[in-house]
Amino acid sequence: MFMRRVVHFGPIESKGGMSAVMEILSDDINSKWKKSVISTHSERDFISKIISWHKAKKVLLYLIKNDKIDVAHIHVTHSLSWHRKATIMKICSRNKIPHIIHIHSGKFDIFCSKYFGIMGKFVKKSLNNKFATCAVLEDRWLKDLEYWIPPNSIVINNPSKGNNNKKFDNLNLEKITILLLARDSAIKGHRFAIEIINSLISKNVDARLMMTGILQKEIKNDLNGKIMGLGWISNEKVEHLIKNSDFLLLPSEFEGSSMSIIEAITNDLPCLVSPASFETLGVPELVLTLDSPVEWADKIILLSDNERYMQIISKIRKQSERFSKEEINDKWDKIYDIII
């Protein structure tokens, strides 16, 4: 049986949530679409980044010439990511290849506003052609980006890897393990998380904080081993940490739709988040401003009561249903059918 082909373009070999999303969406089991992935980015030096970009363009031209691509699914954030992918978009448009421009950035509105709106004009031009379909991660982006994206842009959630609800036979919150899963970036809130753990310890709470993205040597005071910097870790290690933690923190200034939150709530891990992740999490009482780390510490203490903790688990389980891998892949397959 002939299968039509969708090719994903993006940083599949790089660190971060976007590569995780690409991995899930490129799964073609139970799909009538054959799916593959082309890497557009390298974690190494600048020359390696250029080589990956040029290689992706060459592969795309080869696929087009040999009639091996029906839809291009282009994953993009902002800044250089956008400029690299813009060349992929142009090739698709010139060759009449339907393409999805899938925006993952939590700062895309800021990017569009840069340089007196010049970046936004480039974005608007790329998105307003008959071969392009714009996709955003959450409803809020339809409003935030309305000046630059087409009115028929689509909204589809990021998918989780799967539902792995915990079993709570022996719930014990006397020793609290707190997790922050994020890349090394000032906007992700590593310093704020350290202030939260400081506040907890000052209140005589037995708590420890584990953070990805930064190394142990970058932590000036680890409070006698209470704060651990893990650097970048494997997916298997991430899964282990999620299953063995009591709370996830994400005090970030900007977010698109955090895969850390999605994977946490599909594994029954309560999250405390900033307003940037309000729609992703969907539980208002777990959303806090970035005004006071003490407020975050007090919320952790409040939720550490066993009964309250299990009530929160019930709420996030309901929210996690929105991120079903099977349902979201099915939605994408239907979109490919429409745009072809």
pLDDT, tens digit (0-9, with 9 covering 90-100), for 110-146: 999 998 999 999 999 999 999 999 999 999 999 999 9
Residues 114 and 212 in one domain: no
Clarify whether residues 49 and 154 are in a common domain: yes
pLDDT of residue 147: 96
* Residue 43 located in a structural domain: yes
- One domain, residues 180 and 93: no
CB neighbours of 59 closer than 8 A, spacing ≥ 6? Answer: 38
Question: Is 333 found in the same domain as 246?
Answer: no
Domain boundaries, position 71 = 4-158+325-339
d(CA 250, CA 290): 10
pLDDT at 232: 87
Name the residue type at position 45: D
* Calpha distance 296→195 (Å, rounded): 10
Is residue 166, in this structure, part of any structural domain at all? Answer: no
In which residue are the tokens 């029954």 written? 268
Assess if residue 170 is contained within a domain: no
Same domain, 130 and 193: no
Same domain assignment for residues 75 and 128: yes
> 82 CB contacts (<8 Å, ≥6 apart)?
76, 111, 119, 123
Residue 160 or 174, more confident: 160
Distance CA 192, CA 291 (A): 10
Is residue 243 domain-shared with residue 283, that is, in the same domain? Answer: yes
Residues 6 or more apart whose Cβ sits within 8 Å of residue 327: none
Grade residue 284 by pLDDT with cuts at 50, 70 and 90. very high
CATH classification at residue 110: 3.40.50.2000
Residue 221 sits in the same domain as residue 333:
no
Let me know if residue 165 belongs to a domain.
Answer: no
- Residue-wise pLDDT tens digits, 16-64: 788 899 999 999 888 999 999 999 988 788 888 889 989 999 999 999 9
Distance, in Å, from the CA atom of 297 to the CA atom of 239, rounded to the nearest integer, reads: 24
| Same-domain pairing of 131 and 207 | no
Q: What whole-number distance in Å separates Cα of residue 290 and Cα of residue 188?
A: 11
pLDDT surpassing 90 at residue 251: yes
Phi first, then psi, for residue 135 (nearest 5°) are -130, 135
71 domain-assigned: yes
- The helix/strand count (H/E) of the chain reads as 12, 11
DSSP 32: S
Do residue 10 and residue 140 come from a single domain?
Answer: yes
Do 217 and 313 lie in a common domain? yes
Q: Is residue 168 part of a domain?
A: no
12 and 93 inside one domain:
yes
Interval 286-312 mean pLDDT: 96
- Residues 177, 246 contacting (CB under 8 angstroms): yes
Structural domain includes residue 334: yes
Terminal-residue alpha carbon distance, the chain: 18
Both tokens of residue 40?
């557009």
In a domain, 277, yes or no: yes
Burial 188-220 (b: 16+ CB within 10 A, else e): bbbebbbbbbbbbbeeebebbbbbbbbeeeebe
> DSSP character for 139?
T
Residues above pLDDT 70, as percent of the chain: 96
- Return the HEC string of 97-109: CCEEEEECCCCHH
The total number of structural domains in the chain stands at 2
- Whether residue 167 is predicted with pLDDT greater than 70 in this model: the reply is no
Element spanning 132, H or E: strand 132-136
In this prediction, residue 163 carries a pLDDT of 67
Q: Find residue 37's DSSP bridge partners.
A: 8
